Structure 1
């Protein structure tokens, strides 16, 4: 038998909680908030996809439960009473807290992701071989790579980070590294005594491996900076193999099918491990890779980490000259 003053479990729960009768019906507070903000039942009804009369009845229901008026009904206008102003502050505060809590909970459940766009050559030859080091330190982050020559709008396409090749003088964003170019080929091609590669002019007896260029541009446009430095602006090679992607040009060079123009540091690893060799020195292409972050991703900590990782990898690459090992 319980003592006379003891509370039952049910009544204790009511004391610790909030009695539903102490609050206006919660579904009606949205109508009050809209009406108090716009000072118009008609505008509130439009926002809430209700009729004006429905909003008016809901406000009357709240006022009836409170026992006081929240609005002064004037000719073609509304004004908040003192009680209405008190309720407006309280309702706004509660709704803002709910919005903040909802955003926090949703963010905690949302997958962590970094989306990157770059050229196919940079993706396959430089980024992907290094990417495991980023994913190892960020195992909970999904990485999405869009490898395309198209210049994507970062905001519209949902991209966080772009890495793009541009002329040094017109580059936009943070410079990752400048590009050097030089002829590269398979080691067996360099050892062929019937087709020597002792001096730059010997290239005239070899097959040119090149990217298919837009109509009106010379086929060997990628070679022009190097030809100019070597004093060979008119050099024509024996024949040509053309490809739509630079990674295919490099694959053909590794297979011994001709000589390609190598882009450094994209091909540094292949020169270090001997898959490719460079019979001659390099020249500046006056191009470089630049990193940009979408404005909407400024608060994405994983995107910021990815950019810092890119910059660190670029600095590391500078310390590893072709021919040296890590």
Structure 2
């Protein structure tokens, strides 16, 4: 039996009719539930990111479909009719059941994810600027990056791929690229005639930008391959700015704060666009970046795609790498 005291819809509303067994659209039910709960088309509209008039039209449509008025339009107020109260109970319960079911289904659907660990410098200077190209070609894949100097246990940490800097003679895994090092600075430092940078000993008049090293290691340890090829003893520079992360060293160099040892190809883009310049030639550092996949990646085709993408990006970057001499 129909609920008692249900106010019928207007003749115009009834004329539109409602076929037996046909359900109102889900978006209309969402709007009705919000309006019935708040007793305000305006508040319901704000909650649903709709206009007040759009919610009003949707309520009129659902009333037309049902052939019954669901609200009493009072002066600056709404009240539910008996039919509206019945619909509110049922619609609220059904929507809640749908939400619970959707949550349960999502929880049983394995997420597509690739987890990577690498150094903070590689992540910020090389990987992240390119990452949009991978995500664009792999919609629905979540990429998780653990940027740390700590060498994580891949299996225990739930990591698929690692990219690590190692001596080329001791590297394990696939070689992504070998590293070249050279002094870099902002263009304005080369224009300072009072402090020239025309020959390597001129570095002594400039500020060293360096990453903090483990106890006992000199701040210029990254410079040693370059010093050796140039036939220089360690150059003691005028003063030093230390940073905990290599990306901060690079930012200070771009800002004109001093001279840093640049790592190619990490800084290739900065040299190519002129934010950094290299006053002297580069040399091989005997270091390289190596890619490894954990056993779990064998069952993750997205992780395998990520490694193939990494290798392709490295090849493409190598072809565009700037010359390592002034």
TM-score range, shorter chain: 0.5 to 0.7
Check the 8 A contact 2:161/2:291 in 1, yes or no. Answer: yes
Give the whole-Å Cα distance in 1 for the aligned partners of 2:321 and 2:244: 29
Aligned to 1:274: 274
Give the whole-Å Cα distance in 2 for the aligned partners of 1:321 and 1:120: 21
Aligned pairs (5 A) from 1:189-200: 189-200=189-200
Aligned to 1:216: 216
> RMSD of the alignment, in Å?
1.5
Aligned to 1:235: 235
Structure 1 gap segments, 5+ residues each: 1-104
Aligned to 1:120: 120
Aligned pairs (5 A) from 1:138-217: 138-217=138-217
How many residue pairs match? The answer is 219
Aligned to 2:5: none
By how many angstroms is 1:106 displaced?
A: 9.3
Check the 8 A contact 2:265/2:321 in 1, yes or no. Answer: no
By how many angstroms is 1:322 displaced?
A: 2.0
Instruction: Give the secondary structure class of the aligned counterpart of 2:155.
Output: helix
Instruction: Give the secondary structure class of the aligned counterpart of 1:114.
Output: strand
Aligned to 1:314: 314
Aligned to 2:297: 297
Instruction: Give the secondary structure class of the aligned counterpart of 1:298.
Output: helix
Instruction: Give the secondary structure class of the aligned counterpart of 1:111.
Output: coil
TM-score, scaled relative to structure 1:
0.66
Give the whole-Å Cα distance in 1 for the aligned partners of 2:316 and 2:130: 11
Aligned to 2:129: 129
Give the whole-Å Cα distance in 2 for the aligned partners of 1:107 and 1:308: 29
Structure 2 gap segments, 5+ residues each: 1-104
By how many angstroms is 1:108 displaced?
A: 8.4
Of 145-154 and 234-243, deviating more is 234-243
By how many angstroms is 1:107 displaced?
A: 11
By how many angstroms is 1:321 displaced?
A: 2.3
By how many angstroms is 1:148 displaced?
A: 0.3
Give the whole-Å Cα distance in 1 for the aligned partners of 2:116 and 2:200: 38
Give the whole-Å Cα distance in 1 for the aligned partners of 2:296 and 2:138: 21
Instruction: Give the secondary structure class of the aligned counterpart of 1:169.
Output: coil
By how many angstroms is 1:272 displaced?
A: 0.4
Give the whole-Å Cα distance in 1 for the aligned partners of 2:124 and 2:262: 14
Give the whole-Å Cα distance in 2 for the aligned partners of 1:311 and 1:107: 33
Deviations along 1:201-258, one digit per CA (max 9) or x if unpaired, are 1101000001111111112101111011111123211111111100000000000000
Runs of 4 or more consecutive aligned structure 1 residues displaced over 3 Å after TM superposition: 105-108
